[in-house]
Amino acid sequence: MKSVQTIGVIGGGQLGRMFALDAKRMGYHVITLDPQQHSPCGQVADEQIVASYDDLAAIDELGRRSDVVTYEFENIAIESVRYLERHSYRVTPSSHVLEVTQNRLAEKRLARECGLPTAEFVPIRAPEDLAEAVRTVGFPAVLKTVLGGYDGKGQWRVESTREAEAALAAASAAELIFERLIPLRKELSVIATRDSHDRSVAYPVAENTHDRGILAMTIAPARVDPSIAAEAREMAATIGRRLAIVGTYCVELFLSSNDELLVNEIAPRPHNSGHYTIDVTQCSQYEQQVRAICDLPLSPPRMLSNAIMMNILGDGRGDRLDGVPELLSDPAIVLHVYGKRHAVARRKMGHFTMLVDGPIDEAAIERARTALAKLHWEA
Ligand SMILES: Nc1ncnc2c1ncn2[C@@H]1O[C@H](COP(=O)(O)OP(=O)(O)O)[C@@H](O)[C@H]1O
Ligand SMILES: [Mg+2]
């Protein structure tokens, strides 16, 4: 394989930005494609093609000018990845991986084909399908759009047929999934990277706390029994192999109140719950992605410290982040800000990693929460 000099990235968000920062450190030329000028990734990449994700002329230009193309976001047009494949441009992960992971039904069916449990679900294509879904799945349940959802968007928790009907009317999506609401002990995620020779590496299982569908905090490693952690990593490896993913990916899992592990989602890219790997491992999830797509050896992760990652969300009150000196008075904290101009309510604006010596206990979590509370958005 010809050695890579230029990497193309479809999508210009924070995941692309952190990928580009690592790729740049390793000497690569990075071109991103995003409709928004000066996107978070565009600010640190060598170049940005300003175009929508389904603009095939722009996608062709990206393919032509890159030695390999990847994407940092799964809600891009599948046709763009197929186009690159058809025209023999190198792109990874494949359109097959994207097709499965952007569709909640396909994702759950794939997990089941691998013999891995998921929450019970029934597809809803027409209002008439609801009665059957209620009979099979019951309540409480979550109704989700099959395509396009992220950060809890496009989901409705429902406890009765009346609520489900209202959600169905509000959803106005062609395809929905009616899913059992799982009583959760914990939410876990496994970040892994696989290369084209079927070699893979995985980070320790992480433990995630969400607030209204958006990741709020990640604790790494997860405070779970080693047998559960091993099973979670095995599940992620099975999925990676089955999909023949080349790159970094994430499997989100539910640990139910009766200690069963269920596959929730598969992300074909680095993941918010793996940001901590930048600060406390020798090779971040982004660098592993660079290595996988450039056909370089993967680096079995070493945890140099335990970590708590806190997301910094916008609140709509202003675009200037205040309290940074107070936050950084704690020397265990590493701050990352994504360069987004407007701190719209609940938008992911940045995060920090708090390095933790020894096991992560309630005092450490409280310290991270107190640190987050020092930050405010000002007009
Ligand atoms: N079936 C479910 N049971 C319990 N909690 C759920 C379920 N589905 C979603 N959630 C909660 O909502 C969050 C977001 O849902 P998810 O399916 O991961 O969608 P996305 O992350 O794409 O918005 C999950 O991390 C979890 O906290
Ligand atoms: Mg999710």
Nearest to 267 by CA among 84, 33, 82, 104: 104
Number of C-beta neighbours around residue 71 at 10 A: 25
3-state secondary structure 24-84: HHCCCEEEEEECCCCCCCCCCCCEEEECCCCCHHHHHHHHHHCCEEEECCCCCCHHHHHHH
- Cα 171 to Cα 40, 150, 155, 165, 262: the distances in Å are 30, 14, 8, 10, 25
State whether the beta carbon of 213 lies less than 6 angstroms from ligand 1: yes
**Domain enclosing residue 41, as ranges:** 6-91
Q: Which amino acid is at 65?
A: R
State whether the beta carbon of 142 lies less than 6 angstroms from ligand 1: yes
Q: Please tell me the distance between residue 152's alpha carbon and the centre of ligand 1 in angstroms.
A: 7
Kindly tell me if the per-residue pLDDT of 206 is higher than 80: yes
Spatial separation of the C-alpha atoms in residues 254 and 57, rounded to whole Å: 41
Spatial separation of the C-alpha atoms in residues 85 and 87, rounded to whole Å: 5
Spatial separation of the C-alpha atoms in residues 156 and 284, rounded to whole Å: 34
Residue 190 and residue 236 share a domain:
yes
State whether the beta carbon of 182 lies less than 6 angstroms from ligand 1: yes
- State whether residue 190 is helix, strand or coil: strand
Residue 370 and residue 355 share a domain:
yes
State whether the beta carbon of 150 lies less than 6 angstroms from ligand 1: yes
Residue 351 and residue 267 share a domain:
yes
Q: Which amino acid is at 220?
A: A
Residue 229 and residue 151 share a domain:
no
State whether the beta carbon of 214 lies less than 6 angstroms from ligand 1: no
Residue 238 and residue 259 share a domain:
yes
Q: Please tell me the distance between residue 87's alpha carbon and the centre of ligand 2 in angstroms.
A: 32
Q: Tell how far CA 206 is from the center of its chain.
A: 13
Residue 196 and residue 142 share a domain:
no
Q: Please tell me the distance between residue 149's alpha carbon and the centre of ligand 1 in angstroms.
A: 10
- State whether residue 147 is helix, strand or coil: strand
| Last residue within a domain, chosen from 138, 161, 180 | 180
pLDDT at 227: 98
Residue 297 and residue 148 share a domain:
no
| Side-by-side strand order, sheet with 47-50 | 47-50, 29-34, 6-10, 68-71
User: For the residues 299-320, what does the mean pLDDT come to?
Assistant: 98
User: For the residues 17-36, what does the mean pLDDT come to?
Assistant: 98
Number of C-beta neighbours around residue 285 at 10 A: 30
Kindly tell me if the per-residue pLDDT of 373 is higher than 80: yes
Residue 104 lies in a domain: no
Nearest to 161 by CA among 181, 131, 183: 131
Residue 103 lies in a domain: no
Residue 22 lies in a domain: yes
Residue 108 lies in a domain: no
Residue 271 lies in a domain: yes
Q: How many domains in the chain?
A: 3
- Please tell me what DSSP assigns to residue 20: H
- Nearest ligand, measured from the Cα of 148: 1
Residue 259 and residue 126 share a domain:
no
| CATH number, position 352 | 3.30.470.20
- pTM of the complete model: 0.97
**pLDDT 10s digits, 142-186:** 999 999 988 889 999 999 999 999 999 999 878 999 999 999 999
Residue 46 lies in a domain: yes
Q: Please tell me the distance between residue 177's alpha carbon and the centre of ligand 1 in angstroms.
A: 12
